């Protein structure tokens, strides 16, 4: 999937626990987040690139309320 699709405003329902490096930059907030150069994202619960459900953490996969750990950090 292309970065333009991964960061499309249409899917701007990201889990509030998704973190990325550029979110800590001081600038006008952008929605959706602009892609970082390294593509590195992490979960606030696990502090790694894998979520509590063991799946990869990135906008594409963390934008679905259907994901088992979405918004809670608990695997349902």
In a domain, 34, yes or no: yes
* Within a domain: 51: yes
In this predicted model, which residue has the larger pLDDT, 52 or 11? 52
Write the pLDDT tens digit of every residue in 46-65.
999 999 999 999 888 898 88
Q: For residue 39, what pLDDT band results from cuts at 50, 70 and 90?
A: low
Please state the domain count of the chain: 1
In a domain, 23, yes or no: yes
8 Å CB contact between 18 and 49: no
Query: Of all helices (H) and strands (E), which one includes residue 56?
Result: none
Mean pLDDT of 18-32: 67
Record the pTM. 0.65
Q: Is residue 75 part of a domain?
A: no
Whether 28 is in a domain gets the answer: yes
> Are the CB atoms for 46 and 52 separated by under 8 Å?
yes
Range of the domain at 35: 1-69
């Amino acid at each position: 999937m292309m970065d333009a699709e991964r960061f499309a405003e249409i899917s701007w329902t990201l889990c509030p626990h998704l973190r990325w490096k550029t979110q800590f930059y001081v600038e006008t907030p952008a929605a959706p987040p602009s892609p970082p150069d390294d593509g590195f994202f992490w979960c606030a619960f696990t502090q790694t690139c894998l979520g509590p459900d063991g799946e990869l953490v990135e906008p594409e996969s963390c934008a679905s309320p259907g994901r088992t750990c979405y918004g809670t950090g608990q695997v349902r």
